[in-house]
Chains A and B, each alone.
Chain A
Amino acid sequence: MSEKLLSIDDLHVAFSTRRGMVEAVRGVTLSVEAGEMLGLVGESGSGKSVTGFATTRLLDAAGRVTGGKILFRGQDVTKLRGDDLRHLQGAAMSMIFQNPRAALNPIRAIGLQIADAILTHKRISKEAARAEALDLLRAVQIRDPETRVNAYPHELSGGMCQRVMIAIAISCNPALLIADEPTTGLDVTTQKVVMDLLADIAAARGMATVLITHDLGLAARYCRRIAVMERGRIVEEASPRTLFSAPQHAYTKRLVAASPTATSRIGDLVTEEERENYAAVISRPRHEPAYGTPPLLEVRKLAKRFDQGAAAVADFSMTMAGGEGVGLVGESGSGKSTTSRMICRLIDPSEGDIVFDGQSIGHVAARDFHRSPLRKDIQMVFQDPNESLNPRFTAFDCIAHPLMRLDGMRAGDALRQRVEECAERVGLPLDLLPRFPHQLSGGQKARVGIARAIACRPRLLVLDEPTAALDVSVQAVVLQLLDRLRRENDIALLFVSHDLNVVRMLCDRTIVLRNGGIVEQGESRALFDNPKTDYTRKLVEAIPHIETGPALAAGL
């Protein structure tokens, strides 16, 4: 057994809030060996990030270590003060963060920011620090480092920013790197590149890494050992294989089940016990449209240009039948959100036509479409459940609003009944209706967003990454809900997502977009099992699969 680099012993962290002290970490015991990559997995609020911040001494002013020890090379980190602490930070352990663009100083050139970190711990000249910064940019594989060294964060992509952040973190060769959700918010392909880079650098420098993530698949791909956290405690710690093949703790079981894999179906996402009431729905036969029924939606040669720039979307055509699920996938910048917004008539297309139920709606100006009788037939669910709800509207108001505007309903018993009916359909407890968005959890807010969208009984629901901000267990429930709505109410779903596993489960057909054009389309399973283009193959391969059985055994 090699020497422990970091050992956390019965750590407790509490935050003082308006409602008194809240314990975020309640007795975490954990150890990291030199050079090892440990996965710390849990859903939001599990205390995994707080554990990381406590270790690097970056807790907010409101947070305090209330018990336990964090031993780094035998030294208790929680007791360090002043200069001792500064010598530790950056030089011996460092951290990379979830939102790389926000984590960099927006008005300082990236080269200077890297040099700042170097100059803090080494007594060298500014020129030497700059040269080292250049070397680091090369080490994190930034193309054309000589020019990029003078760039500002806003001139770089998210993935680039995260590489710069890695460069800053490794600038003084720390022995321990804590990566807090380093690739959340990045495209799958970028995620793979950044994670591969991080793993390579860690291996080459013998740096121990703690990978904090909500993505079990990601942790399984890169870590030999995974610790699962729930509500401030570590509930299970095992190798990925054991974790997936034989999870011990009930929470781990649920988490493993909810993580979508290459083969899972929507019904698989919950544990056995919860599966029963869903089975009834799924067994019901799909309502097949009669032969010769015109398509619900037909999009012809749609294009969008912003301010004389290159086309964001060009020559996009598709059709959708009633009750069909179509996935729209692609990396950021591929034009999938723009396309979905044009179809929703929230922005105007530059060219092309949109025909909904036999009526051309492409030429109705987006700002007048709210008066169209078809507005209530096409509704949208937005990506961020926090941002897309009016903070001054209660859940009830949110759901009632479209009913009053589009269905012309007046406040009264009929409206209350409709709202409650919608809430029930999405599984939102009725006693939550008088609450404001900030009093609801992420999953509850997502339900309000969906309830609002289905309130007017639309025939087409456009969903723009509706589960991207949600924990996997919540995502599982939301996906089931959407699938049930589609089957029961015959609502067509246009599902925009970068998560191919999710699209594969929910959608009959998938359209792959790149740089505003269609690369490939076809029946979902066939498309993912047998991609015809390199681009689709790259997307599919970049998904961190949870590999069980022989594949993983071979890897070990």
Chain B
Amino acid sequence: MTGLAATMVRAGRRLLSSLPALFGVLVFTFLLMRVLPGDPAVFFASGPNAGKEEIEQIRKQMGLDKSVPEQLVFYLSDIGRGNLGRSMMTGQPVLKDLRERLPASLELTFTALLIALIAAVPLGVVAALRPGSIVDHGVRLFCALGVCVPTFVSGLLLIYVFYYLLGLAPDPTGRIDVFTSQPPQRTGFLSIDFLLVGDVEGWWAACKQLILPAVSMALFVIAPLARITRASMLVSLGSDFVRTARSVGLSWRKVVVTYALRNAILPVITIAGIVFSTMLGANVLVEKVFSWPGVASYALDALLSSDYAPVQGFVLLMASVFVLVNLLVDICYGIADPRVSIG
């Protein structure tokens, strides 16, 4: 168990060393929000006819009358106490909003990444086994299409085909349809929560809602994953140890899967981590198309209404997720490859 303990210690050290970066992100977003045009006090005043006094009062209430450095100090001390501020838009604490919406985004992104990996790895392997063949070109075409069609277009197309034409998918309005009641919240992942209470029907309803947005997100990221799988699989197949495996007559399956693919999958892990972080923050289009109550659409709405606190909270959340995912990737990498140790 000493190996595991050592890994945990190193992981902890890595987390500590990422704190300065997180602090930098905090300050930078804070300043960025202050530089952006738009006056929140005007925006949140009672109406277009609100008088100067009322706006002034709101500004004072929000602390915007103080100098920027003072505001920053207040903001940082709030963060230090775990207070991300209150959203003017929803009237709730930002922390509560994010906590409600993050599981929706995570569930969607995880599913999308899973679908993407399940599709991309075999595609990459097949392409690498017969480079230059019809199959290889087919995979390349598919990847190109996936990348060049924006997610909102593919999302709308999927809705048109599966909801409007075929009627297979439920209407794209959030995480569950109006007839199903919410399960008691445990993990926040609806598909898991339903299973925990044994509600198979509810689980199926949640999955049906999930599948279209997840697929349209997955389509977009299959390309990088499949390409990196193909490239590293080609290197792997041409390597000396695969030649060794062939020289002793190992079965085709053993050569391709155990020897070539397990080595080729290492860079895919790294790319998958990056793809995941990107998807989580950038899936706002999919969330909008499918009315998905996720964090990205929340942040976009907040940005449009100059609501500082949610945007700052969102950026901080994304930065933390990015740090965590990278750490996770490094730990996975350390398990998959005995040559590296994270540090």
Which residues of A are in contact with B by a Cβ distance under 8 Å? 56, 58, 60, 85-91, 94-95, 97, 99, 102-108, 116-117, 120-121, 152, 154, 165, 168-169, 171-172
A117 contacts B248, CB within 8 Å? Answer: yes
Residues on B with C-beta less than 8 A from A90 are: 247-250
Does chain A have a CB within 8 A of B60? Answer: no
B249 contacts A108, CB within 8 Å? Answer: no
Instruction: Give the distance to chain B from A57, nearest Cβ to Cβ, in Å.
Output: 8
Name the contact of B259 in the complex, choosing from A86, A102, A105, A168 (C-beta under 8 A). A105
A89 contacts B249, CB within 8 Å? Answer: yes
Known interface pairs A108-B258, A116-B258, A152-B339. Does A103 touch B250 (Cβ–Cβ under 8 Å)?
no
Residues on A with C-beta less than 8 A from B31 are: none
B239 contacts A120, CB within 8 Å? Answer: no
A-B contacts, 11 of them at CB < 8 A, read A58-B243, A58-B247, A85-B249, A87-B249, A102-B239, A106-B337, A106-B338, A107-B262, A107-B337, A116-B254, A117-B250
Interface string of B239-264 (1 = CB under 8 A from A): 11101111111110010001100110
A107 contacts B336, CB within 8 Å? Answer: yes
Chain B interface mostly: helix
A106 contacts B250, CB within 8 Å? Answer: no
User: How many residues of B sit at the interface, in one of the four size bands?
Assistant: 20 to 34
Q: How far is the CA of A91 from the CA of B251 in the complex (A)?
A: 13
Residues on B with C-beta less than 8 A from A60 are: 238
A86 contacts B251, CB within 8 Å? Answer: yes
Residues on B with C-beta less than 8 A from A91 are: 249
Q: How far is the CA of A399 from the CA of B223 in the complex (A)?
A: 44
Residues on A with C-beta less than 8 A from B336 are: 107
Instruction: Give the distance to chain A from B266, nearest Cβ to Cβ, in Å.
Output: 8
Instruction: Give the distance to chain A from B210, nearest Cβ to Cβ, in Å.
Output: 34
Which of A89, A91, A169 has its CB near the most chain B CB atoms (within 10 A)? A89
- Chain B residue nearest to A57 in the complex (CB): B246
Residues on A with C-beta less than 8 A from B250 are: 90, 116-117, 120
Name the contact of B244 in the complex, choosing from A85, A97, A107, A120 (C-beta under 8 A). A97
B241 contacts A102, CB within 8 Å? Answer: yes
Known interface pairs A116-B254, A117-B250. Does A103 touch B338 (Cβ–Cβ under 8 Å)?
no
Residues on B with C-beta less than 8 A from A89 are: 246-249
- Chain A residue nearest to B243 in the complex (CB): A58
Known interface pairs A102-B240, A104-B241, A152-B339. Does A58 touch B246 (Cβ–Cβ under 8 Å)?
yes
- Cross-chain pair count, CB within 8 angstroms: 80
Residues on B with C-beta less than 8 A from A87 are: 249
List 5 extra interface pairs beyond A103-B243, A105-B241, A154-B339, CB under 8 A. A90-B247, A90-B248, A97-B244, A169-B247, A172-B248
B247 contacts A152, CB within 8 Å? Answer: no
Name the contact of B263 in the complex, choosing from A94, A105, A120, A154 (C-beta under 8 A). A105
Q: How far is the CA of A363 from the CA of B339 in the complex (A)?
A: 36
- Chain B residue nearest to A118 in the complex (CB): B248
Which residues of B are in contact with A by a Cβ distance under 8 Å? 238-241, 243-251, 254, 258-259, 262-263, 266, 336-339
Q: How far is the CA of A90 from the CA of B250 in the complex (A)?
A: 8
B239 contacts A168, CB within 8 Å? Answer: no
Enumerate the 7 nearest inter-chain pairs by beta-carbon distance, A residue then B residue, closest first: A90-B248, A89-B249, A90-B249, A102-B240, A117-B248, A86-B249, A105-B241
Instruction: Give the distance to chain B from A446, nearest Cβ to Cβ, in Å.
Output: 25
A106 contacts B248, CB within 8 Å? Answer: no
Q: How far is the CA of A103 from the CA of B239 in the complex (A)?
A: 8
A107 contacts B338, CB within 8 Å? Answer: yes
B338 contacts A94, CB within 8 Å? Answer: no
Residues on A with C-beta less than 8 A from B338 are: 106-107, 152, 154
Q: How far is the CA of A117 from the CA of B248 in the complex (A)?
A: 6
Q: How far is the CA of A86 from the CA of B246 in the complex (A)?
A: 8
Instruction: Give the distance to chain A from B250, nearest Cβ to Cβ, in Å.
Output: 5
B248 contacts A171, CB within 8 Å? Answer: yes
Residues on A with C-beta less than 8 A from B249 are: 85-91, 117, 120-121
Which of B250, B259, B263, B266 has its CB near the most chain A CB atoms (within 10 A)? B250
B339 contacts A107, CB within 8 Å? Answer: yes
Residues on A with C-beta less than 8 A from B251 are: 86, 120
Residues on B with C-beta less than 8 A from A168 are: 244, 248
Q: How far is the CA of A152 from the CA of B262 in the complex (A)?
A: 15
Instruction: Give the distance to chain B from A179, nearest Cβ to Cβ, in Å.
Output: 12
Which of B244, B248, B254 has its CB near the most chain A CB atoms (within 10 A)? B248
Q: How far is the CA of A171 from the CA of B244 in the complex (A)?
A: 13
Q: How far is the CA of A172 from the CA of B250 in the complex (A)?
A: 12
Instruction: Give the distance to chain B from A482, nearest Cβ to Cβ, in Å.
Output: 33
B247 contacts A56, CB within 8 Å? Answer: yes
Instruction: Give the distance to chain A from B342, nearest Cβ to Cβ, in Å.
Output: 16
Q: How far is the CA of A102 from the CA of B241 in the complex (A)?
A: 6
Residues on A with C-beta less than 8 A from B263 are: 105-107
Name the contact of A103 in the complex, choosing from B238, B241, B258, B262 (C-beta under 8 A). B241
Q: How far is the CA of A102 from the CA of B337 in the complex (A)?
A: 15
Residues on A with C-beta less than 8 A from B238 are: 60
Residues on B with C-beta less than 8 A from A165 are: 244
Q: How far is the CA of A91 from the CA of B249 in the complex (A)?
A: 8
Residues on B with C-beta less than 8 A from A58 are: 243, 246-247
Known interface pairs A87-B249, A117-B250, A154-B338. Does A106 touch B244 (Cβ–Cβ under 8 Å)?
no
Residues on B with C-beta less than 8 A from A102 are: 239-241
Which of A104, A116, A165, A168 has its CB near the most chain B CB atoms (within 10 A)? A116
Residues on A with C-beta less than 8 A from B339 are: 106-107, 152, 154
